[in-house]
Amino acid sequence: MTRSKEDIGRGLAPARAGLPIPGGQRIHVIGAAGAGASAAALLAARAGAEVNGCDPGAPSPYTAALEAAGVAVVDRHATEHLSTPAAAGRPIERLAVTKALTAVDPDHPELRAARDLGIPIEAWQQLVADACATSGQRLVAVAGTHGKSTTAGWLVHLLVTAGRDPSAFVGALLEPELSGGPPSTARWGAGPEFVVEADEYAGNFDPYRPAVTLLLNAEWDHPDVFADREAVIDAFAAWLRRAAETVAEPTLVANVADEGARAVVDRLAGWPGRVVTVGLNVQADVSGQIDEIEGQPALVVNGRFGPGVFTVGLPGAHNMANAMMVIAAHAVLGLPRGALDSIADYRGVSRRMELAGEVGGVTVLDDYAHHPTAIARTLEAVRQRYPGRRVWAVYEPLTYHRTAAMLEEFAAALAAADAVAVADIWAGRDPDTTITSSPALAAAVTARGGSSASAPGSVEATADHLAAAVQPGDIVLVMGGGRSYVIAHRLVDLLRGKAG
């Protein structure tokens, strides 16, 4: 069953174009230890607001940057967070929250208290849009079903290399050389650009009105809000049309080698902006092919922005496509040609084929892939980087509705590995946890006649199972968007214990 974005965001103020944040405005952020909400809190604080937050998951990898910026995050929910005045005697004036909470608990005590006190409740993305309006920077959005964090981080890397000092929200940790401080999902700069990762789920990208948009791809995902691919295409097109209502001459950079992104471009007939087409092995304004130079994959780019041959530091054809989008953005944003030398230096963001450890000949990788296409592409990239080695696909499914709707697609993607383990499903915002199970997905993988898949249980139990099963020379690719990172790091610790 699909739900409307209004139902999922019940009780939230409607999304609007960004407005400057008044200096000293008091803002409370629920879920501030998460990747996105932590960035919103940090950016609002940098824009001059007085921000605090709460999250039972604190501390997290995302809270160190908040602590360094003086943003306090309490590790519990409590209604008094909203009613306790600051030292100056001013109460909370705004509350920001993730739709993951409003989807499963719209009557959460803090939300109910905010309504009783007349405090506006908004999605945290609104804070990001308002921080951009405060800075006066040009909004550059990276959108699509896959690859947003990698490509947004890549664009930040390019802008920093070019001396443009961007602000940014990226959905994965940026290292200090890009964040400008502790590892963070946010960056505050004084340059002309503000880069955001724009997520289509339930209208999360609605507050953003980008001057430049990079559309990487468009596939059916989030079956709880999109009935089919057509609904996804409609959402992207409607968002871009809204941006054109408030932004003069916006630019869309679209990967037309992707069928969905091409459909979005087709849906924009009469759109008042400029469209720059990009694609591997297709006719486009910026076209490219993958070649081999001195035994290494290389990206050969041609088009109206000038030819070039690039070494790409990230493996896989999908990252060649991401690199092309960054190269096209370089031209659209008017960056110096020399900045493109940095394309080869970029090593990605956290949890994207990130090395968790190598112990006793076993290599453990941690990745965020949680859609069949992303899993398939990541496995291909692992095969490219580690040829000839046995590959484990270890997956913690993200949400029951996605797993049930795409069970056979997940099974097909996972079955390309040599061995498979499926951890318990991370429910996230799901209200119904009965529609499928991890053993059902494991059985679907095994039924394909290739890999035999197991379903060991929790992320901890899955790590324990792997520690007894892996062999020297194995590559263990751990994937998922919930607590799958626990599998990777627990497995490394267990292997070190055995080796020691």
Same domain for 451 and 406, yes or no, is yes
Predicted confidence (pLDDT) per residue in 142-167, tens digit:
999 988 999 999 999 999 999 999 99
Q: What is the DSSP string of 377-417?
A: HHHHHHHHHSTTS-EEEEEE-B-HHHHHHTHHHHHHHHTTS
The tokens describing 453, both together, are: 């898949």
Same domain for 226 and 102, yes or no, is no
Residue 89's pLDDT is 59
pLDDT at 25 over 50: yes
The answer as to whether 315 is a domain residue is yes
The answer as to whether 131 is a domain residue is no
Residue 377's pLDDT is 85
Same domain for 303 and 190, yes or no, is yes
Same domain for 365 and 471, yes or no, is yes
pLDDT at 38 over 80: yes
The answer as to whether 132 is a domain residue is no
pLDDT at 119 over 70: yes
Same domain for 305 and 358, yes or no, is no
User: Could you give the angle at which helices 407-414 and 372-385 cross, rounded to 10 degrees?
Assistant: 0
Q: Rounded to 5, what percent of the chain is helix, strand, coil?
A: 40, 25, 40
Same domain for 93 and 166, yes or no, is no
The answer as to whether 232 is a domain residue is yes
Same domain for 417 and 436, yes or no, is yes
CATH of the domain at 62: 3.40.50.720
Same domain for 151 and 22, yes or no, is no
CATH of the domain at 224: 3.40.1190.10
Same domain for 189 and 57, yes or no, is no
Same domain for 335 and 371, yes or no, is no
The residues, any chain, with a CB within 8 Å of residue 189's CB and separated by 6 or more, are 164, 165, 166, 167, 168, 180
Residue 201's pLDDT is 86
pLDDT at 222 over 80: no
Last residue of a domain, one of 106, 126, 146: 126
Residue 84's pLDDT is 64
Domain of residue 454: give its range: 354-499
Predicted confidence (pLDDT) per residue in 447-479, tens digit:
998 778 999 999 999 999 999 999 999 999 999
Q: Whole-angstrom Cα distance, residue 342 to residue 326?
A: 11
473, 391 contact by CB (below 8 A): no
Predicted confidence (pLDDT) per residue in 299-351, tens digit:
999 876 667 888 888 878 888 999 999 999 999 999 988 888 888 888 876 67
For the ranges 9-13, 234-238, 335-339, 423-427, the one whose mean pLDDT is highest: 234-238
Same domain for 142 and 228, yes or no, is yes
Residue 157's pLDDT is 95
Alpha helices (H) along 80-190: 80-83, 99-104, 109-117, 124-135, 148-161, 176-179
Last residue of a domain, one of 126, 150, 180: 126
Residue 87's pLDDT is 46
DSSP state of 357: E
Same domain for 299 and 382, yes or no, is no
Last residue of a domain, one of 324, 345, 366: 345
Domains contained in the chain, number: 3
Predicted confidence (pLDDT) per residue in 382-409, tens digit:
998 899 999 999 999 988 888 988 899 9
The answer as to whether 460 is a domain residue is yes
Q: Are strands 212-215 and 94-97 parallel, antiparallel or unpaired?
A: unpaired
The region of weakest confidence among 188-192, 365-369, 449-453 is 449-453
